[in-house]
Each structure stands twice: as C-alpha cells, then as structure tokens.
Amino acid sequence: MIVSAGYYMALAAALFVIGALGMLLRRNVLVMFMCIELMLNAVNLTLISAGRALNDLNGQVAVFFILVVAAAEVVVGLAIIVAIFRRRSTASIDELSELRG
C-alpha cells in the first residue's frame, strides 16, 4: 500500500492542532514547551511530505534549519524557566501574574 502525501499532511495538521490546543489549555510551562515542539514538528512533517510529493529538495533542507532553530529556542526557554524556578518553585503560568496586560 502506498501512503500518499495527503495522509502525512493530515497527520501534520492533527499534530499542529493538538499543539495549538495544548498551548491554549495547559498551564504548565514545560507542557507548553512540548506543545510548541509538537507544532514545529508538524511544520517539519508538512515540509518533508510536500518536498517528497513535489520531488524537490528545498523543503527537506528547510527542515534542517527549523530543527536547529527549534533546538536553540528550547535552550533559551529552559534557561528562562530555570531563572524563574530559582526565585519560586512553580511551573504554572497562572502564578506569574505581576504584570497585567
């Protein structure tokens, strides 16, 4: 059985929606991180399957760049969380409410 690119796109869309919902609904910062990773990986999957379907390398090369940038961003994010943990031991975003938008 040949799995067409459309199925991969649908899977990517599902991953993206799960990630987006997680960002909106979950309150733990670490879980929100994972949701962001899920969204970025949905992007990667879309790019790879589109590149495969179009028989074009650009999409697959783009994925490398996104992977590296995502890794760098996780480092930055974890550093910020560590800085917050040192002051107060909580990972809930609701407790961080000194600034009001």
Of 2 and 100, CB closest to other proteins: 100
Cα–Cα distances (Å) from 11 to 27, 38, 53, in that order, read 25, 12, 15
Max Cα distance, the chain (Å): 56
CA angle, corner 16, sides to 34 and 25, nearest 5? 60
6-65 residues near other proteins, rule: CB under 8 A: 9, 16, 19, 23, 29, 32, 36, 39-40, 42-43, 46-47, 49-51, 53-54, 56, 58-59, 61-62, 65
Instruction: Mark residues 63-92: x for contact with other proteins by CB under 8 A, - for none.
Output: --xx--x--xx--xx-xxx-xx-xxx----
